[in-house]
Structure 1
Amino acid sequence: MSLLETGLVAIRDHKRLAEILAVVTRFGIDDVLGRIGLSGLASSSRRDGGKAAQADAPERLRLALEELGPTFVKLGQILSTRGDLLSPEWTAELEKLQSHVAPQPWDAIRAQVEEDIGGSVEAIFASFDTQALAAGSIAQVHRAMLKDGTDVVVKVRREGLRPLVDADLRLLSHAAALAEVQWPDLARYRPREILNHLGAAMAEELDLAAEARNCETVAANLADMDFIVIPRIFRQWTGERLLVQEFIDGTAPNDGPAMAAGRHDGPLLARRGTEAFLHMALIDGIFHADPHPGNLRALSGDRVAFIDFGMVGRLGGRRREQLLSLVGAIVDGSGDRVANLLIEWSGGVGADLSRLEAACDAFVARHGAAPLRLGDAIGDFVTMAREHDLALPPDLALLFKALITADGVMRGLDPQFDAIAVAAPMVQSEMLRRYAPGAVFGRGRALAFDLAGLASDLPALIRLLALRVRQGRISASVELQGLERIGGDIRWAATRIAVAIVTAAFALGLAPRLFEYGPLVFGVPLPLWIGLGVIAAGLVWLIMPRR
């Protein structure tokens, strides 16, 4: 990270940088910098009087982030999910972050709204409330009614946000890269990875069309659950700066008197809401990332509505398999499987394995018995990661935060709620689907194709190696530390390749010939049964994790 590059960034965004430094100086960052190992910069901070003078370090950080605007509010919200990095007093304070600001006057945004809907407000809507229902630093929401009598909400993005957000992201990204160089101890926090996550989150939140797509995707994924309601999107009037969607008139789950008046069945609502959320996360791979009571509604017939898809999380297939394995490990009381997953997620650099395994054994002993308190278990898990200096990937941190929030809502509906009772059948069904013979064979076939491609490249690689040897251009750099472990890894990889080649050769070459020999068992030659068993054993061994 050169001084020239730092200077160029500072010159390009000098106005925004001055604003940020002014806020940092006004709220004071002495304690904050000390907590993250940057106390050397604290001398430049001078706190003024007022509210900041009486506030502790976490509250001062929250107040500063709120004043700095949407990018920093979103950064704080992301950090509030990182219980693996920050202690509870910091995450609890960051959870209070609010982006509520005064709404823009209707006269200031009417032209933009009419440009986006392609006509006058009176031509599209039977009625339109010019007083904002809610307002944030990115958008404000208005109630309206379409000509056919449908109640809708209209979400309008504020103007002038993109240049501000782009400048913030440039400055923060450069600061993260600079911090990793100047303070190597910060590397475990993965600041650049957090900033990449922030950039993706801001890009999606600024694009209201993306929110509409998320809403429609979740609605399609949960279409078979008739007890789940997702707002309908009106695509003809929805774009990057404007979102028109159905208004859901229901009861907030934390409104006790209204829930009682509506005669809602709390345990049933909790079970249905959890089933939908776990389906989103573990099976579909896209989930509502902010399921607090304001974004959930109880409807007639004890249906559950999810609203506001401005914040969603995504999980790839591999990550979902790992989460299924984690749930299974907790249920089975397998501490070593929990430790293996935690090391895989974090990289496990420098971890004391014996101490970590002991902690994981204690973890499953505490949470393995029913009823499982999901929020407590996840909180305990991220605390264990933080105590062992293991940082979790951002997608998992967001999911865990959402699960803790959802679990709190469900326990408000049913104090005896047992998440495992809902999760176990879903986990079992998904595991059976993933490891059904057809799925296993598909993965084995893909592996065989990969090995075939490797075999075709091997002659060229050998010729290149021989040429380099003749030219005397082979060089190597060997680090003896950890050589025994490297040797074990090489032996393991070689064994897997050998088993894969033998299994593939058996399946493609020998197995078809076995149709012609031996006595019949259920109409199939006995040697073929044995051959299929060998192939199945080889495939199962290949997909099993290393023990």
Structure 2
Amino acid sequence: MAETSSIDSVRESLRLQQVYNVFVRYGLDILFSHFGMVDGWRRRMQDWVWDLPDNLEIPSLPTKVRLMIEELGPTYVKVGQILSSQASVIPPDWETELARLQSDVPPFPSEQVRETIISELKAPPEQLFATFEPASFAAASTAQVHRATLHDGTEVVVKVQRPDIQKQMKADVGIMINAANVIARRSQALRAIDLPGMVDQFGSNAIRELNYSGEAYNAFRLSQNMAGCPGVHIPHVYTDYSTSRLLTMEFVRGVKISNLAAIDAAGIDRQALAMNTLRALIKQLMFDGFFHADPHPGNLLVNLQTGDVTFIDTGMVGELELAQRLSLIQLLIALQNQDVDATATMLKSLSVPFMGAVDDKAYRKDFQRTLGPYMIGGARLDFSQSLSLSMDVLRRHGLRLDPNLTLAVKALMQVIAMGSLLFPDEDVGQLSVAIIREEALNLVTADNIQNAAGKVAGTALRQVADNLPSLSTATASWLKQYRKGRFEVHVDTSDVAREVDKIAHIGRQAVIAVILVGLIIGSAITTVGVGLGGFDGPGWEFVARIAGLGYILSSIVAGVIVLRLAWRWLRGGDPGAD
């Protein structure tokens, strides 16, 4: 998150007061409902003041919490949506109620919709579209959707961002981060898991999703990757009618993938539907490395006429590197093979420590003790349960997954849960491994290898071309010089000259050394030869004296040179300077 400005601080303070009022109002209502005498007196007073009907149904606790979240606004709705997707860790009544947050959100007025469209596209909706429905077709936490028709008759939906949603969400995230910092200072466990960092990351992702240009790009990229997957569809985005706060895409007919009654009534093969959905996400995760990170039932729509599943709301995506994808595949295979040690090894390799050094021996022992009874003892767990227990072990030993891997595991758990719902008689984890092996074999074909080699060669050629001078520029320059009657070639020899000078220094030193050595040896031989040969006479005596004098002088000069070189070496100078 960026540094908070003074205006943001004021906005956070005002928003904090609103959040506080909502919490107090719903909190007191929930508190009073736990005391029978106080709650009974309160109900009688409400009946007397408001003249309530006798058959009025009192909302349950999950319903009250859901209403409170909706009133708090889109940031808290997003948190509720994340919680609603974790069916394995929350009670069924809470999961059912929070699931309504995925679609049942109050819309904002159509006048504001019109103002946003005019502001973004510089024209009113009745001019841009052949038809436009002012009433919202669906409302979400950060936007609402309106049906429309293009002038060529194409049915589309227009996703319009809620007014001032970015300012409100930034204020909410700021409040959450401040609250997380206060709580973390009072809790060693929350400080160890870096709660403020987790909240900051959630806020950054949520705010990034408000830029619909990114969502349009994600839809385009997913559509390309899913082109070869049967029974899977990604909505087409009409970029001429889209901006960062407005998104126009094709109208998708369908029901939630969790609506089993409608799917069965339409005669759709549940097994084929589960396999297509599972195959699509596994391809995204394990092979493309670019995946839809929020495939909850509200984002998976089934066309009752064709049986195709459509991934909508591509605002949240994740990306995995090749090494992460390979490790994730190995993890899935290890879980399927009930290999406790391999599962522990793969999870640790995918994790990073957040509490200092990790005791590997204690970690593996805890892993064996936690998952061993299920994997070895015969009491098999499904994929989601195995991963949930594994995540608990990681947290206990100060380990956590990379954020993108966390998104990947969550997305995989959601789709596997959907597959188990659609196809309860089959081991969806085993099907996942079978799909991975099948997809891997499909990728290793002669055509794919040839295409990959072509891409590599093309990339190499482009890199070479980028490093070469412009041929047209160089040719034009040469022709211009030729017409002027001259052809100039400029060669920069500054570096060569320096190297030549060094070589010349070395050559001079070598010549001097050879001459001195020759004088010393020659003088010595002459002196010794005259003395041993017994040559007499004034001439030989003069030669002997000259030879002795030459030997002495050559030795002195050689000694001076050696001392000078040694002095330069000791002083750190350049011996080649002489």
Pick the TM interval, shorter chain: 0.5 to 0.7
Question: Whole-Å Cα distance in 2 between the matches of residues 108 and 11 of structure 1?
Answer: 25
Structure 1 SS opposite 2:303: strand
Q: Per the alignment, do residues 94 and 74 of structure 1 end up closer, same or farther by CA in structure 2, a change over 3 Å counting?
A: farther
Letter in 2 for 1:17: L
Equivalent residues of 1:338, 1:360 under 8 A apart: no
Equivalent residues of 1:277, 1:287 under 8 A apart: yes
Q: Per the alignment, do residues 197 and 268 of structure 1 end up closer, same or farther by CA in structure 2, a change over 3 Å counting?
A: same
Structure 2 SS opposite 1:98: helix
Establish whether residue 312 from structure 1 lines up as the match of residue 317 from structure 2.
Answer: yes
Letter in 1 for 2:127: A
Deviations 1:499-527 (A, max 9, x none): xxxxxxxxxxxxxxxxxxxxxxxxxxxxx
Deviations 1:120-143 (A, max 9, x none): 323332211111111133111111
Equivalent residues of 1:211, 1:310 under 8 A apart: yes
Question: Whole-Å Cα distance in 1 between the matches of residues 255 and 78 of structure 2?
Answer: 28
C-alpha displacement at 1:283, in angstroms? 1.8
Map 1:395-406; keep pairs closer than 5 Å: 395-406=404-415
Identify which of 133, 137, 140 aligns with 1:133: 137
Identify which of 240, 252, 270 aligns with 2:244: 240
- The percentage of counterpart residues that share the same residue type is 30
Structure 2 equivalent of residue 71 of structure 1: 75
Q: Per the alignment, do residues 6 and 191 of structure 1 end up closer, same or farther by CA in structure 2, a change over 3 Å counting?
A: farther
C-alpha displacement at 1:387, in angstroms? 6.9
C-alpha displacement at 1:93, in angstroms? 8.1
Structure 2 equivalent of residue 477 of structure 1: none
Identify which of 280, 283, 293 aligns with 1:276: 280
Structure 2 equivalent of residue 333 of structure 1: 338
Deviations 1:474-499 (A, max 9, x none): xxxxxxxxxxxxxxxxxxxxxxxxxx
Question: Whole-Å Cα distance in 2 between the matches of residues 94 and 346 of structure 1?
Answer: 35
Letter in 1 for 2:373: A
Equivalent residues of 2:263, 2:304 under 8 A apart: no
Structure 1 SS opposite 2:309: strand
C-alpha displacement at 1:16, in angstroms? 1.5
Map 1:31-180; keep pairs closer than 5 Å: 64-78=68-82, 92=95, 95-96=98-99, 98=101, 100-180=104-184
Establish whether residue 358 from structure 1 lines up as the match of residue 358 from structure 2.
Answer: no
Letter in 2 for 1:356: F
Deviations 1:512-543 (A, max 9, x none): xxxxxxxxxxxxxxxxxxxxxxxxxxxxxxxx
Question: Whole-Å Cα distance in 1 between the matches of residues 347 and 91 of structure 2?
Answer: 20
Establish whether residue 13 from structure 1 lines up as the match of residue 16 from structure 2.
Answer: no
What is the aligned length? 414
C-alpha displacement at 1:203, in angstroms? 1.8
Question: Whole-Å Cα distance in 1 between the matches of residues 100 and 189 of structure 2?
Answer: 27
Letter in 2 for 1:347: P
Map 1:150-299; keep pairs closer than 5 Å: 150-256=154-260, 258-294=262-298, 295-298=300-303
Letter in 1 for 2:74: P
Question: Whole-Å Cα distance in 2 between the matches of residues 359 and 299 of structure 1?
Answer: 43
Equivalent residues of 2:145, 2:158 under 8 A apart: yes
Structure 2 SS opposite 1:274: helix
C-alpha displacement at 1:322, in angstroms? 2.4
Q: Per the alignment, do residues 126 and 296 of structure 1 end up closer, same or farther by CA in structure 2, a change over 3 Å counting?
A: same
Structure 1 equivalent of residue 527 of structure 2: none
Deviations 1:443-471 (A, max 9, x none): xxxxxxxxxxxxxxxxxxxxxxxxxxxxx
Deviations 1:236-271 (A, max 9, x none): 111111110011223544444543453322211111
C-alpha displacement at 1:83, in angstroms? 9.3
Question: Whole-Å Cα distance in 1 between the matches of residues 314 and 186 of structure 2?
Answer: 38
Letter in 2 for 1:355: D
Question: Whole-Å Cα distance in 1 between the matches of residues 8 and 125 of structure 2?
Answer: 43
Equivalent residues of 1:222, 1:276 under 8 A apart: yes
Q: Per the alignment, do residues 96 and 299 of structure 1 end up closer, same or farther by CA in structure 2, a change over 3 Å counting?
A: closer
Establish whether residue 413 from structure 1 lines up as the match of residue 454 from structure 2.
Answer: no
Identify which of 334, 343, 347 aligns with 1:342: 347
Question: Whole-Å Cα distance in 2 between the matches of residues 335 and 109 of structure 1?
Answer: 55
Question: Whole-Å Cα distance in 2 between the matches of residues 83 and 387 of structure 1?
Answer: 22
Q: Per the alignment, do residues 276 and 172 of structure 1 end up closer, same or farther by CA in structure 2, a change over 3 Å counting?
A: same
Question: Whole-Å Cα distance in 2 between the matches of residues 95 and 386 of structure 1?
Answer: 26
More contact order relative to length (CA 8 Å, sep ≥ 6): 1
- Structure 2 portions without partners, runs of 5+: 32-40, 47-57, 457-578
Establish whether residue 22 from structure 1 lines up as the match of residue 31 from structure 2.
Answer: no
Structure 2 SS opposite 1:143: strand
C-alpha displacement at 1:390, in angstroms? 5.5
Computing the radius of gyration from Cα coordinates, the structure with the larger value is 2
Equivalent residues of 1:78, 1:198 under 8 A apart: no
Equivalent residues of 2:87, 2:95 under 8 A apart: no
RMSD: 4.2
Map 1:381-460; keep pairs closer than 5 Å: 381-382=390-391, 385=394, 391-428=400-437
Deviations 1:351-392 (A, max 9, x none): 7421223323334337897xx843444444445556777654
Structure 2 SS opposite 1:206: coil
Structure 2 SS opposite 1:155: strand
Map 1:442-521; keep pairs closer than 5 Å: none
Question: Whole-Å Cα distance in 2 between the matches of residues 346 and 81 of structure 1?
Answer: 25
Question: Whole-Å Cα distance in 2 between the matches of residues 98 and 138 of structure 1?
Answer: 12
Q: Per the alignment, do residues 409 and 331 of structure 1 end up closer, same or farther by CA in structure 2, a change over 3 Å counting?
A: closer
Equivalent residues of 2:416, 2:429 under 8 A apart: no
The TM-score with structure 2 as length reference comes to: 0.61
C-alpha displacement at 1:79, in angstroms? 5.4
Structure 1 SS opposite 2:209: helix
Question: Whole-Å Cα distance in 1 between the matches of residues 252 and 98 of structure 2?
Answer: 26
C-alpha displacement at 1:152, in angstroms? 0.7
Deviations 1:65-103 (A, max 9, x none): 43321122223444566799x776898489547274432
